[in-house]
Amino acid sequence: MQQLFGLEGKRILVLGGGQGMGEATVRLLASLGAQVAIADREIDRAQRVATQVTASGGRAIPLAIDVLDDDALIAGIAQAEKDFGPLDGMATVIGMAAWSALVEMDMDTWDEDHRRNLRYFFLAAREVARNLIQRQAPGSIVCVSSVDGSRCAPYHGSYGAAKAGLSNLIKTMTVEWSPHGIRANVVAPGAIITPRIPHAGDAEPMISDRIPMRRRGTVEDIAKAITFLLSDMAQYITGQTLAVDGGFLATYPIDIPPPTQAKPD
């Protein structure tokens, strides 16, 4: 299995790897032989995951990085390369939405959503790509977006616009970086159970009924998609946005009953 994915010994940076989708990604990558640098704003979370990976026979190091601080993000990636070794790939799962009607949204809110969903990813990807190009080494970069980047995002329009920006940005990265052997892709989750959006209890069936697969996704569902795109299994895939949404984007907004069967004469 490790040979199939080609991740054995690869060094991968996971921004936001201390919990949720990031933690699940770290665990899966490590199980396939990858070495993982776990970056989180809270070092205790990164340390906890790194300790568990190491105890299971893997290699992981924790890093404290605030991705909203440009200098800290650039320095953190440089530190990871120095302490851990040259990176072969990166995954980013950090993002959050501010809720506001567009007519009431102030520019600070707009800018904040773009900083924490789009801007930091560009900066991190640029730094990793620069290092790969300088070393003349191939690599893979994956970010997490949202289905809200492909459909409307009522009352969180700044978030939706930033997530849509990720899908456009990786296409440009693909054109500019593919000649250097660098792939860039997006995973777009639908309704996922995470530490910040837990199981909804009695309301869960109402949410699930809107999803063709009749369930919300798990952080492991997202980790599998990220790992696939980082791996050799996706060697000819770049510039793509992969929706992991249980079929949600394929739904029709109006309930249409099944056609009645004509009775035989």
d(CA 215, CA 210): 9
Give per-residue pLDDT as tens, 150-172. Answer: 999 999 999 999 999 999 999 99
CB 38 within 8 A of CB 18: yes
Catalytic residue among 155, 159, 236, 252: 159
Ordered by start, the domain boundaries in the chain are 2-247
Q: Does the annotation mark 159 as catalytic?
A: yes
Give per-residue pLDDT as tens, 12-67. Answer: 999 999 999 999 999 999 999 999 999 999 999 999 999 999 999 999 999 999 99
Average per-residue pLDDT in the chain?
Answer: 93
Give per-residue pLDDT as tens, 206-253. Answer: 778 888 888 889 999 999 999 999 999 999 999 999 999 999 899 877
Q: Give domain 2-247's CATH number out of 3.40.50.10300, 3.30.565.10, 3.40.50.720, 3.40.190.10.
A: 3.40.50.720
Strand order in the sheet with 60-64: 60-64, 35-40, 11-15, 89-92, 139-144, 182-189, 241-244
pTM (predicted TM-score): 0.93
Element (H, E) at 57: none
